[in-house]
Structure 1
Amino acid sequence: MTESEATVVSDKLSRPRRAWAVLAVVTGALFLEGIDIAMLNVAVPSIAADIGLDTGSAHWVISTYVLAYAGFMILGGRAADVLGRRRIFLTALVVFAAFSALGGIAQDSWVLIVVRFITGATAGFMTPAGFSLLTTTFSEGALRNKALAIYGAIGASGFLLGVVAGGLLTSLDWRLVFFAPALFGVAFFVAGWASINPDQPRSAEAAHEHRQLDIAGGLTLTAAMVSLVFGIVTLGESVTNPLGPIAFGLATVLTVTFVVIEKRASNPLIPTGVLTTGLLPWASSIGLLFIGAFFAWQFVLTLYLQELLDWTPLQTGFAFTAMGIELVIAPFLTPKLVERFGNVTVVVTGLAAVTVGFVLTLRLDSDSGFLDLLPSLLLLGVAFAFIYGPLTAAAVEGVDENKHGVAGGIVYTGFQFGAALGVSAATILLVGSDHDVAQPHDYQRALVVPAVAAGLALLIGLLLSVRQRTQPEEVAA
């Protein structure tokens, strides 16, 4: 065997190893994003008590992050497509880690909120860049579905295990909830630097696209989404706050401006047809409602357990370990079900499970215990296993690989809008009574939000399933 032949063989053998290494790093970053926000959910009561935030304002610790995350997601995805996925991913990851560490030393609430905004913005670049690294590393088909199932399982486990870790760390010191993601971020940055191939040199066409990157459109859309999410979360804090309508008005003006800019741009931020390609609009709608339901449920339930039932953060965290069933189902069972029944059928099954789980929590009261909560926790674990990975796989079906970054940005923007809507709606119902301390019926009323949102997501999933059966050739196209 000649030296050149040996090199070719070595390269072929190394590609699968490198592909799985990329999966490990990208999945680790998604896990990091999930565990970060889940830990903060559990730590919110302790943070609020320490820095002087009341129940109605405590959600800003979460909402500020979500606001920036949603606002920068599409710009981040498009930047990854044009400027280089590895470059954007690693840069965002190191900034994420740095500002997480700054959050751990913050002494004032306003400093903490600024840190959370910047951390969310960097996550808005990191997540779609990582997602597109994964989908372009694995070709469409069974191998990509398996990779995305693992990606979804471990990414979703960040939301689930983060509650446990958050409870443990908060019981020691809530500042550890910020330092832990910083350490993880540094580790993933080092691993990513070593395992992700450098971005390919740009062709003449790509270089022209770089020069024509729609900066004006990106900044306008980002400002519009930040304004919209700010209006949503402000509405959640107080329906009489005048900043809410002002933010909605500004978002409307910015959106109209964005549309005008896009029509004139030679290389628009959102390429023509992406929003209507394949299953992307359906997946985004389902993701918005599902994640919105989950965030609303987790936010209300955490307050219910700690404020009404007097559970400690550690007890709260360990209660959520039951959702860890997702880690067993998603990597092993979900890919087999997807291969046999398809992504949509598996997603609909998960949506049915989570809807039942959220409806069951409506019966919780001041005398409820862990066993009353257990069925809902198990059903949510099943739901994450069946929804997260298959939904993201469905979202890029039929989308050109050079647009996977912006497609991922659109999907994850839907996730974050859902989170903002869910937490805000639940907050409105939770604090909307005329007494200062929330009562059992206040929590029950707020838990209607996730039940209704999950039900709507299930309805959309069923409609999509019917559409696929009646128009298979159109959906496939």
Structure 2
Amino acid sequence: MVILDGTIVNVALPSIQHSLGFSPSGLGWVVNAYLVPFGGLLLLAGRLGDLVGRKRVFLAGLALFTAASLLCGLSQSPTELLASRFLQGVGGAVTSAVTLGMVVTLFPRPKERAKAIGVYSFVQSAGGSLGLLAGGALTQSVGWHWIFVVNLPVGLVALLAASRVLAPERGLGLGRGPDVLGALLVTSALMLGVYTIVETGDHGWASAHTLGCGLAALLLLAGFLARQARASHPLLPLRVFRSRDVSGALGIQVLMIAGVFSFQFLCVLYLQKVLGFDEMSTGLGIFPVSVAIGALSLGLSPRLIARFGPRAVLLPGLGLIAAGLAVLGRVPAGGSYVTDVLPALLPLGVGFGLAMPSLATLAMSAATPEDSGIASGMFNTVQQIGAAFGLAVLSTLANARTDALLGGGAGTASALTGGYQLAFRIGAGLVALALLLTAALLRSPAPEPATAPEPEAVPSHRP
């Protein structure tokens, strides 16, 4: 539900603009008002989960997200909707930040953890694609308000289930890490950084606004890192970066997510603006990716990771993603979905179904029970930064290429396609770079013997 709400509004934006009277420049903030707090608060929320208990933080975030969703659906003005979307982003960040940490704590045995991370990766990956389908269906059938109101029953059921199923946790206690200054620095840095990236479409990459805000975000981040190196109870223990697999996985994740967003955003535009698909047809057209991700994440990927290790599974996954984006880089203006788009979607889905569980496993490989919340928040933060950066860069390059082709006398469809082709090819290059870094940086541990005894499970409520 939380991941889905990051994309479900995309196909409903024209209806929202017409209904509430948004200006063209203000309409983008229906998306950005969610993304900025979501990306900025993940790290802080993850650490709070370690300190006060991940179950408490999860339930609080889920309750806020559900209430904010209802407020979004009841909004009657742009101001009301943007304020509600901001609250939704806060609730989404608090909920998402501790989820992966709970997974690795509840499933300490390697084989069980691989299966659980596969389910987590499927839910996270498929949420974005399903958002397009759900957004189109709800907007066309009952109106844009219901893309938010539908979260109410889902959220209430999730709250009830979580309160009954999840074991209580005591947490480390606020005395073990109330790094208020560090929290202010990192939250300000991440929010300002995400804001700077998402605003490049209006201000440009070389503008005083972008350069000034970007420099301020970097200075705040540098101050945060300096604070963590000296603090007795740091918000983000820097020891988590000592593992080459963890640090490498986070860097590879940025490149992969940035490249994949050329598909998730621009392929939708190609289907609608060039091939003439409506909202519902677009969602159905992207649906094979979700099916492929589910088939791999829920079944084959966990077994392969347990047998061969996450690095060995990540390599072919990245190769398939790069191949799928390269195929999209050749789509013609007069193309066909069956012959030009579908052949790219299948390797993209299979590749992502292999790569995402592998990256999650690597990124959480050095997390202790005391640090699993902050590790989970860091993994999700890096994903949000990669998504925001990839979307901003690739859409800017695509628009510049389209404008150049229009200026040279090309038709609208040809100019749009030329811009999308460039973005897809650059996305393929980013994923190919991630593939090279995986081969060069990550280690390939020997798989565990099939008969080796597995460690006893650590209770999730252990202090």
For 1:452, the aligned partner's letter is I
Structure 1 pair 155/446, CA: closer, same or farther in 2 (3 Å)?
Answer: same
Distance 2:420 2:19 in 1: 25
Return the match for 2:159 from 183, 189, 195: 189
What is the RMSD computed on CA atoms of the aligned residues? 2.6
Distance 2:387 2:323 in 1: 20
SS in 1 for 2:8: helix
SS in 2 for 1:165: helix
Counterparts of residues 40-439 of structure 1 (less than 5 Å): 40-51=9-20, 58-172=27-141, 173-200=143-170, 206-207=172-173, 209-210=175-176, 212-239=177-204, 242-323=208-289, 324-371=291-338, 372-432=340-400, 433=403, 439=413
For 1:177, the aligned partner's letter is I
For 1:215, the aligned partner's letter is V
Structure 1 pair 281/98, CA: closer, same or farther in 2 (3 Å)?
Answer: same
Name the counterpart of 1:457.
Answer: 431
Distance 2:21 2:398 in 1: 19
Q: Report how far residue 122 of structure 1 moved.
A: 2.0
Q: Is the 8 A contact 1:300 1:447 kept in 2?
A: no
Distance 1:93 1:411 in 2: 19
Q: What's the TM-score once normalised by structure 2's chain length? A: 0.86
Q: Report how far residue 104 of structure 1 moved.
A: 1.6
| Per-residue Cα deviation, 1:354-410 (whole angstroms, up to 9, x for no partner) | 111112112224322321211122122112211222211111112222111111111
Mean Cα deviation higher: 191-200 or 235-244: 235-244
For 1:178, the aligned partner's letter is F
Q: Is the 8 A contact 1:330 1:386 kept in 2?
A: yes
| Per-residue Cα deviation, 1:187-214 (whole angstroms, up to 9, x for no partner) | 11111011111123x6xxx33634x411
Q: Report how far residue 425 of structure 1 moved.
A: 1.4
SS in 2 for 1:310: coil
For 1:68, the aligned partner's letter is P
For 2:165, the aligned partner's letter is S
Mean Cα deviation higher: 320-329 or 143-152: 320-329
For 2:429, the aligned partner's letter is G
Distance 1:398 1:259 in 2: 20
SS in 1 for 2:3: helix
Distance 1:346 1:79 in 2: 32
Q: Is the 8 A contact 1:308 1:366 kept in 2?
A: yes
Structure 1 pair 451/113, CA: closer, same or farther in 2 (3 Å)?
Answer: farther
Q: Is the 8 A contact 2:203 2:209 kept in 1?
A: no
Structure 1 pair 123/426, CA: closer, same or farther in 2 (3 Å)?
Answer: same
Mean Cα deviation higher: 158-167 or 256-265: 256-265
Distance 1:286 1:53 in 2: 38
Distance 1:470 1:195 in 2: 36
Structure 1 pair 422/151, CA: closer, same or farther in 2 (3 Å)?
Answer: same
Q: Is the 8 A contact 1:99 1:118 kept in 2?
A: yes
Distance 2:36 2:208 in 1: 18
Q: Is the 8 A contact 1:230 1:244 kept in 2?
A: no
Q: Report how far residue 55 of structure 1 moved.
A: 7.0
Distance 2:252 2:277 in 1: 33
Distance 2:79 2:133 in 1: 27
Distance 2:125 2:148 in 1: 19
What percentage of residue pairs aligned between the two structures are identical? 28
SS in 1 for 2:108: coil
Q: Is the 8 A contact 1:61 1:113 kept in 2?
A: yes
Counterparts of residues 23-42 of structure 1 (less than 5 Å): 32-42=1-11
SS in 1 for 2:234: coil
Structure 1 pair 168/337, CA: closer, same or farther in 2 (3 Å)?
Answer: same
Instruction: Name the count of aligned residue pairs.
Output: 437
Mean Cα deviation higher: 238-247 or 349-358: 238-247
For 1:455, the aligned partner's letter is G
Distance 1:50 1:369 in 2: 34
| Per-residue Cα deviation, 1:424-454 (whole angstroms, up to 9, x for no partner) | 1133234432769965333432453354244
Q: What's the TM-score once normalised by structure 1's chain length? A: 0.84
Structure 1 pair 453/361, CA: closer, same or farther in 2 (3 Å)?
Answer: closer
Mean Cα deviation higher: 300-309 or 263-272: 300-309
Q: Report how far residue 74 of structure 1 moved.
A: 0.7
Mean Cα deviation higher: 90-99 or 296-305: 296-305
Distance 2:37 2:375 in 1: 18
Return the match for 1:440 from 414, 429, 446: 414
Q: Report how far residue 291 of structure 1 moved.
A: 2.1
| Per-residue Cα deviation, 1:271-298 (whole angstroms, up to 9, x for no partner) | 1311232422122122222222233322
Distance 2:314 2:336 in 1: 30
Mean Cα deviation higher: 393-402 or 260-269: 260-269
Q: Is the 8 A contact 1:65 1:116 kept in 2?
A: yes
Name the counterpart of 2:461.
Answer: none
Distance 2:154 2:207 in 1: 38
Q: Is the 8 A contact 2:126 2:293 kept in 1?
A: yes
Q: Report how far residue 57 of structure 1 moved.
A: 6.2
Q: Is the 8 A contact 2:115 2:298 kept in 1?
A: yes
Structure 1 pair 67/443, CA: closer, same or farther in 2 (3 Å)?
Answer: farther
Distance 1:82 1:450 in 2: 42
Q: Is the 8 A contact 2:248 2:441 kept in 1?
A: no
Distance 1:374 1:54 in 2: 35
Mean Cα deviation higher: 235-244 or 319-328: 235-244
Structure 1 pair 259/339, CA: closer, same or farther in 2 (3 Å)?
Answer: closer
